[in-house]
Amino acid sequence: MRPRGAGLVAGVVLPALALAAGPPAAGPLAAAHGHPVAHTDPAATAADTLPRVHVLATGGTISNTEGDRLTGEELVQSLPGVEEVARITVEQFSNVASGAITLEQWLAMARGIDRHFADDVELAGVVVTSGTDTMEETAYFLDLTLAHCRPVVVTGAMRRANMLGADGPANLFDAIQLAVHGDGPRVGAVVLMNDLVFPAREVTKVHTSRPDAFAAPGAGPVGMADPDSIVLRSDLPERACGTAPFDLTGVDELPRVDVIHTHLGADGALIRAAVDAGAQGIVMASVGRGGSTPGQRAALAEAREQGVVVVRSSRTGAGRVPVGRTPESGEDARAPMLGAGDLNPQKARILLMLALTRTRDGEELREIFRRW
Ligand code: ASP
């Protein structure tokens, strides 16, 4: 149960809190290599039998106070009662705004989390604290790249830690509770914000400032934080364990994929600039069900002749752009063009980056976009 008055009291160490700090942050790769060590104590107490949760802190508003950033350890220490829920280890992966997280850090984060799960079969789950601006992208990337199916809960805050009504402590407490929620369906990576649990694939930020800034258009939440428990929908498709949808073995770098907006009067200049910058894929934030301007269509045809894969998603915010069939008109071009289904542009970019590590074939890409 979430305690009343769980608020932020930075620096207060709760006596019973089984908190072990992760390694000092010496960059994402170094941090990803640091593993919490489980100790077996002959004089084990009830607290020693609690499930283990690893908190990976990356920064964002949940960590922000006026002119300062709290550490992950300080965030966890501010949660009264959490010592009765889990034994927690903390890793300070980074402490930045979420817009500053790099693709290299994503790779390191996914590998590090899978390594934690592999090294500690009793690790119940991982909580990632993140800025909310790109949290939906981090959650989807992890969902597509983690081999283990234990819960990975991404959370953050819309209000800074020292603001009235700060939502970070409750979100973090609920995320830890969800991470130890052993009897629910295997949901993979999820976002927990403002009492609601959202699937990584569908969740998106829909407001710039309110605590209820997240929604999953067309899907809805998969669970909620009730005052006394976490309740997950029982009819969810279970995520497979053991293999990642996209195996990162041998992937040192993700291919460049740019997102380009369609608006009235848009010409092909930005599309040509993306191709010149080395884009291997372009995701269009198209109008409606995948439309763009005549100038953009001409530039996209040129891009495909140069081998650049094009995915059309919608700037609308909900609904589908049909993935399409093979052969589609223009399929004789050197690179395919397909629709993103119901993925929003930023999610379609992640899927295309990962898909391009595996194939450039039109039918295989369509299969990937139908499935993931
Ligand atoms: N600018 C912040 C970020 O890091 C916003 C937030 O955390 O809500 O995404």
Residue 18: per-residue pLDDT: 38
To test the pocket of ligand 1, the residue of 63, 98, 102 to mutate (highest count of ligand atoms within 8 Å of its CB) is: 98
C-beta 174 within 6 A of ligand 1: no
Question: Which residue, by CA, sits nearest to atom 7 of ligand 1?
Answer: 131
Q: Cα dihedral sign for 227, 86, 122, 131?
A: positive
Instruction: Please provide the average confidence, as pLDDT, over all residues in the chain.
Output: 87
Model confidence band, residue 2 (pLDDT cutoffs 50, 70, 90): low
Q: Which ligand 1 atom minimizes the distance to the CA of 96?
A: 4
Give the pairing of strands 196-199 and 223-225.
Answer: antiparallel
Q: Do domains 19-232 and 257-371 have the same CATH topology?
A: yes
Average pLDDT of the segment spanning 187-192: 91
**Residues contacting 121, CB < 8 A, separation 6+:** none
**Does 151 sit in the ligand 1 pocket, CB within 6 Å?**
no
Ligand 1 atom closest to the Cα of residue 59 is 4
Which CATH number describes the domain made up of 19-232? 3.40.50.1170
Q: For residues 66 and 225, what is the distance between their CA atoms, to the nearest angstrom? A: 29
Q: How many angstroms does the Cα of residue 139 sit away from the middle of ligand 1?
A: 14
What pLDDT is stored for residue 351 in this prediction?
98
Q: Is the peptide bond before 221 cis (omega within 30 degrees of 0)?
A: no
Q: Does residue 355 register a pLDDT over 60?
A: yes
Q: Is the pLDDT of residue 293 over 90?
A: yes
**CB 133 less than 6 A from any atom of ligand 1:** yes
Give the model's pLDDT for residue 28: 30
Q: Give the distance (Å) from ligand 1 centre to CA of residue 40.
A: 38
The residue ranges of DSSP E strands in 48-206, in sequence order, are 52-57, 64-65, 68-69, 87-92, 123-129, 152-155, 189-193, 196-199, 204-205
Q: How far apart are CA 237 and CA 239, in angstroms?
A: 7
For residue 272, how far is its CA from the centre of ligand 1 (angstroms)? 31
- Higher per-residue confidence, 114 vs 12: 114
Query: Per the structure block, which two tokens stand in for 66?
Result: 């006026």
- Give the pLDDT confidence score for residue 6 in this predicted structure: 40
132 belongs to the catalytic site: no
Question: Could you tell me the pLDDT band of residue 34, with boundaries at 50, 70 and 90?
Answer: very low
- Residue-wise pLDDT for 147-170, tens only, equals 998 999 999 999 999 999 999 999
Q: Are 124 and 133 in contact (CB under 8 A)?
A: no
Cα→Cα distances 340→82, 133, 275, 315, Å: 41, 22, 20, 11
Over the stretch 221-235, which tens digit does the pLDDT of each residue have? 999 999 888 999 888
**What pLDDT is attached to residue 27?**
31
Q: May I ask the CATH architecture of the domain 257-371?
A: 3-Layer(aba) Sandwich (3.40)
Q: Length of the chain in residues, anyone? A: 372
Top pLDDT among 332 and 16 is at 332
Asked if pLDDT for residue 23 goes beyond 80, the answer is no
CA of residue 142 to ligand 1 center, whole Å: 18
What is the distance between the alpha carbons of residues 138 and 31, in angstroms, rounded to a whole number?
17
Phi-psi region of 61 (alpha: psi -120 to 50; beta: other; left: phi over 0): alpha
Distance 131 CA to ligand 1 centre (A): 4
- The residue-averaged pLDDT of 320-328 equals 78
Residue 333 banded pLDDT, cuts 50, 70, 90: confident
Q: Whose CA is nearest to atom 8 of ligand 1?
A: 132
Which of 64, 129, 133, 154 has most ligand 1 atoms within 8 Å of its beta carbon, as the pocket-test mutant? Answer: 133
Segment 90-123, tens digit of pLDDT: 999 999 999 999 999 999 999 999 999 999 999 9
pTM: 0.88
User: What residues does each domain of the chain span?
Assistant: 19-232, 257-371
Residue 168 near ligand 1, beta carbon < 6 Å:
no
Q: Whose CA is nearest to atom 3 of ligand 1?
A: 131
